[in-house]
Structure 1
Amino acid sequence: MMKKHHILTPLIGLICILLLQVGCSDPWDEHARDNEGLTNEPLLERLDQESEASEFMKLLRTSGVDEILDGNNAYTVFVPENSRMQAALAGLPDDPETRVNFVKNHIAVSTHRLNASADTVRLTMLSGKTLDFVNSEIDGAAFSKSNQAGADGMYHIITDVLTPRQSLWEYMNAHSDELQNAFILSLNEYNLYDTAVVEDPEDYYLNNEFLREVGDVRNENQHFTYFILKDEDFTAEVAQFLPYVNYRNHADSSYAIGQYEIVKDMLFKQAYSKDNLPAMLLSASNVSFPVDKSAISQSVRLSNGWVHVLDRSTLPVVNKLIDTYVQGEEPWGFSESVTASTFHRIRKDPYGEFFKDIMVQNHGVSSLQIVYRTPRMYSTTYDVYWRALNDVQTNVFQQQVGIFEFDTRPSEEDPDVEVRERIYVFPYTNVERNSYDEVYLGEFNLADYNRIVPVLQSAATTTAGNNTLVLDYLRFVPKQKTN
């Protein structure tokens, strides 16, 4: 074995030397390639010498944008070929602002070499728009000449113009005559709920609930897909959903909430062209949106996404009726302080899945309550389930769930004391030992679209082990109305 080792040693060394000679290139050659096209000439002078840049340079100078390229900062200019510039100029409005924005949409701060990888680089142009730079293309325009560098920047010749597109917010404003867009814009002035934040003079639209809660479609650095219904279909969808958003029997408020409940599930935070749309999308509120491409009558590409116009509704009401979960380990409060007896646990179910729960044990309080709150829930009937793991006691104990209104009212006995009206209280239910199964508690009807306050209550005893409370989650399953 030792003799074989001595024979192989020089052979391995020779192979390594050969590999190094083949695999490693001269660092000066690498340096030369990195600086290909680099001169000490200013970027503007280099562009003036580029024959395919002549049409773009005319507009650059007549628009006054050339003054930005003054050598004080580095820029990358994406120059459309002359033929594409001539075609674009024929349809470009003859007003200074439009032409300045057009030119600025071809210029990015700093230097950006050709990106031939599959990784998308998002470039912010001087126009304020953000363009995708990926796979030897920028915003879909290919490169016919690349990486031409001057002393203060770089330019590429591209095969198409980079006309500034509207953002989704600009699109909505430009199509404000459509009911769906008009409603979203109305939220600039009208608040659906009494949850408005403090007015910010820097952001007039801060209280628009669609922008704040669903997606800030003004943002050029995010991607969106937005489906829009024609007026008659939008009106029909709202009318169909009104029974689920009864708000204190107030018709105007209920109708406004109904509109919001429709539009909030028409926006998705990824950009999909019609060809690339998946069969199913998931909205920000976890509503499954089935995609029927045959229902799309028009698609509009935006600077931050896509708009798809639907010629019919594709989202069934039942899809919007999603379950509401209340996590046991996330209480809103307790009827009494029992911190020393409260345990937030991590458990593993028989399928190997970890979960968190809460257990309050040996606390010495009769009818102890853990109070929770939910997001706004639809006005319909709910089936209610819990999962509660009794795995550390040898006995079975009981607990119950009560459903109370979220809004408080003055007590009839003492007007200075506020109380919550009871909606429904389920009977005490056994928490069996070592059961990981959901337990069905029953159903209750929620007459008003609103939040609710579920309360988990222990047995009316101070005996340790008999007044334990434990909860992984409560699940509220909304039922579809039959008429």
Structure 2
Amino acid sequence: MKNSIIPILAFVFLTFGLVQCSDPWDEHIAEGLTDVNQSLLERLNKEENATLFMDLLKSSGLDNNLDGKIAYTVFVPRNETIQSLVTNLKADATALRRFVQNHIAVSTYRLNSSSDTVQLTMLSGKIVDLVNSRVGGVGFVNPNKGSSDGIYHLIDGPLMPQLNLWEYISQNTTYSQNLFVESLSTYNLLPTASPDDPGDSLLNNEFLQNLGDVRVEKDRFTYFVLENEIFDSEVNGFLPYVNYRNQADSSLQISRYHIVRDLLVAQAYSSTDLPAEVTSISGVTIPVNKADIVETIPLSNGFVHVLRAPNLPLQNKLLDLKIEGEQWSNISASVGNSTFVREKKDPLGQIFKDVMIQNHGVSLLSVNYRLPHLLSTSYDVYWRAVNDIQANVFQQRLSILGMAVLDEQGQSQFPELRSFPYTNVELRNYNEVYLGEFELAQLQQAWAQLTGAATTANGTNTLVLDYIRLVPKVKQN
């Protein structure tokens, strides 16, 4: 009895497994597509309004891809919409192949009325958006035509292969802005800790490396291009803030970078979709005046808007720099057992993290923070330091130091750019405390150094820091 049950159970589970593992394409058949006994090529060859596209498909040799081994979706522009393109495409084999590839997507995609965006990867390598009953912005004429190995849709126009943002920048260097971005592939603005990448030399380009790899098709960008006179004017206006070692050429290049870096947004906005303000990848708020847009170029991964007027007030570009207390670079002594990263809630219910170093027994203990390149301007300096554990007030000091230089003995010394006086850390004060200001004559990297009292006594040499905030100031003429 026991032995006879085993084959029956095996048969049942095998049958269940076959049902569960059915071909996903069979599920499409069950959803009501017609003529699924014919191949995709057979159906397309019989489509009266697809004859010109089929001629291009066969001329490109890509009809061999539709061999039934892989399910595809083909977007077929109706004859009238591509009639004017046929002659030129047939005269350029590369353009022809790219054009046809841009109408074929791997896998199967039905048209539906969803407003959700589906990113289709075409054989061209480009990403085309399917959203709001349109593909790549083109409407459908006769959608969801089934076959045994794919789907095709008749559409109301061609899906012209579009440049991605990097291709656009590289091919439109008549704009000074684009010429500068392209030049960063061979010109390094500043010494960098990142070694050159021999496998992908373009990632040595500081625009691609620091802001966004705009070659990536699946990502979405909006890029504002300033007409040449406007770009040059903006660069010259920012030059006083990027005086680099008193070198005019280097300072000019760095100023160009600071203008360009604030013109890239990590979201695609057409001219009609642009809000009144957008935020750049660098964190700058960009006010948008659509009347200043002289041209909009759709891309495979976003949009370019060419502007005839400056769009960034200087004060927008001067971003605050916030240094979090718990993100130190190094501490002057080994005090790990006395160092605490705390997560706390302030009186308004906001959660924050800070660092507290308490009962460490070290005189003049310092916590050091490496800063990015600071602009050549004046800064107002604030900290928030919450003394909520001890019963007594203690003091600490903040200093801004330059990068290390070697003294006569070969020892590293950090020049003091500004040292603020010792300041009380009052009990349960959750407000920012203004420390003062300092000025930099040159753009440079620096350190922020938080130093405790000159004593080994517990309770009086405590260090605590939520954050330091540096606020760059507009230069007065």
Calculate the TM-score normalised by the size of structure 2.
Answer: 0.92
Give 1:119 deviation, angstroms. 1.1
Distance in 1 between the 2:89 and 2:464 partners? Answer: 68
Aligned to 1:186: 183
Aligned to 2:98: 101
Mean CA deviation greater in 79-88 or 224-233? 79-88
Q: Secondary structure at the match of 1:308?
A: strand
Give 1:341 deviation, angstroms. 0.4
Aligned to 1:164: 161
CA gap 1:322/1:421 in 2 versus in 1, 3 angstroms: same
Give 1:87 deviation, angstroms. 3.9
Confirm or deny that 1:457 pairs with 2:451: yes
Mark the runs of 5 or more structure 2 residues left unpaired by the alignment: 1-26
Distance in 2 between the 1:246 and 1:198 partners? Answer: 25
Distance in 2 between the 1:165 and 1:93 partners? Answer: 19
Confirm or deny that 1:411 pairs with 2:407: yes
Distance in 1 between the 2:196 and 2:396 partners? Answer: 45
What is the 5 A alignment of 1:305-320?
305-320=302-317
Distance in 2 between the 1:297 and 1:93 partners? Answer: 33
Give 1:231 deviation, angstroms. 1.1
Contact 2:36 2:147 in 1 (8 A): yes
Distance in 1 between the 2:463 and 2:382 partners? Answer: 16
Q: Which of the numbers 274, 286, 289 marks the counterpart of 1:289?
A: 286
Distance in 2 between the 1:63 and 1:320 partners? Answer: 50
Cα offsets for 1:72-116 (capped at 9, x unmatched): 211110011111121443665731111111111000111112232
Give 1:59 deviation, angstroms. 1.0
Q: Which of the numbers 425, 435, 439 marks the counterpart of 1:441?
A: 435
Aligned to 1:7: none
Aligned to 2:250: 253
Confirm or deny that 1:469 pairs with 2:463: yes
Aligned to 1:328: 325
Give 1:177 deviation, angstroms. 2.0
Contact 1:246 1:447 in 2 (8 A): yes
Q: Which of the numbers 413, 416, 420 marks the counterpart of 2:414?
A: 420
Contact 2:56 2:86 in 1 (8 A): no
Aligned to 2:423: 429
Mean CA deviation greater in 79-88 or 323-332? 79-88
Give 1:286 deviation, angstroms. 1.1
Confirm or deny that 1:479 pairs with 2:446: no
Aligned to 2:211: 214
Distance in 2 between the 1:370 and 1:40 partners? Answer: 73
Residue type at the aligned position of 1:132:
D
Distance in 1 between the 2:263 and 2:29 partners? Answer: 52
What is the 5 A alignment of 1:213-252?
213-252=210-249
Residue type at the aligned position of 2:114:
S
Q: Secondary structure at the match of 2:157?
A: coil
Q: Secondary structure at the match of 1:102?
A: helix
Aligned to 2:272: 275
Cα offsets for 1:262-305 (capped at 9, x unmatched): 00001111111111111111111211111111111111111111
Contact 1:196 1:207 in 2 (8 A): no
Residue type at the aligned position of 1:142:
G
Give 1:238 deviation, angstroms. 0.7
Give 1:350 deviation, angstroms. 1.3
Residue type at the aligned position of 2:460:
N
Cα offsets for 1:330-356 (capped at 9, x unmatched): 111111010000010111111110000
Q: Secondary structure at the match of 1:155?
A: strand
What is the 5 A alignment of 1:60-99?
60-89=57-86, 92=89, 94-99=91-96
Q: Secondary structure at the match of 1:205?
A: helix
Confirm or deny that 1:195 pairs with 2:192: yes
Contact 2:323 2:469 in 1 (8 A): yes
Confirm or deny that 1:135 pairs with 2:129: no
CA gap 1:45/1:31 in 2 versus in 1, 3 angstroms: closer
What is the 5 A alignment of 1:323-362?
323-362=320-359
Contact 1:37 1:147 in 2 (8 A): no
Cα offsets for 1:407-439 (capped at 9, x unmatched): 211123x22x11111101000000000110111
Aligned to 1:399: 396
Q: Which of the numbers 373, 376, 384 marks the counterpart of 2:373?
A: 376
Give 1:201 deviation, angstroms. 4.1
Q: Secondary structure at the match of 2:142?
A: strand
Aligned to 2:20: none
Give 1:200 deviation, angstroms. 3.6
Calculate the TM-score normalised by the size of structure 1.
Answer: 0.91
Residue type at the aligned position of 1:473:
Y
Give 1:135 deviation, angstroms. 2.1
Contact 2:29 2:36 in 1 (8 A): no
Give 1:38 deviation, angstroms. 4.3
Q: Secondary structure at the match of 1:350?
A: coil
Cα offsets for 1:352-398 (capped at 9, x unmatched): 10000010000000111000112221110001001000001111100
Confirm or deny that 1:56 pairs with 2:53: yes
Distance in 1 between the 2:90 and 2:441 partners? Answer: 56
Contact 1:197 1:206 in 2 (8 A): no
Give 1:33 deviation, angstroms. 5.6
Distance in 1 between the 2:316 and 2:50 partners? Answer: 54
Contact 1:404 1:454 in 2 (8 A): yes
CA gap 1:244/1:342 in 2 versus in 1, 3 angstroms: same
- State the superposition RMSD in angstroms: 1.5
Contact 2:285 2:316 in 1 (8 A): yes
Q: Which of the numbers 150, 159, 162 marks the counterpart of 2:147?
A: 150
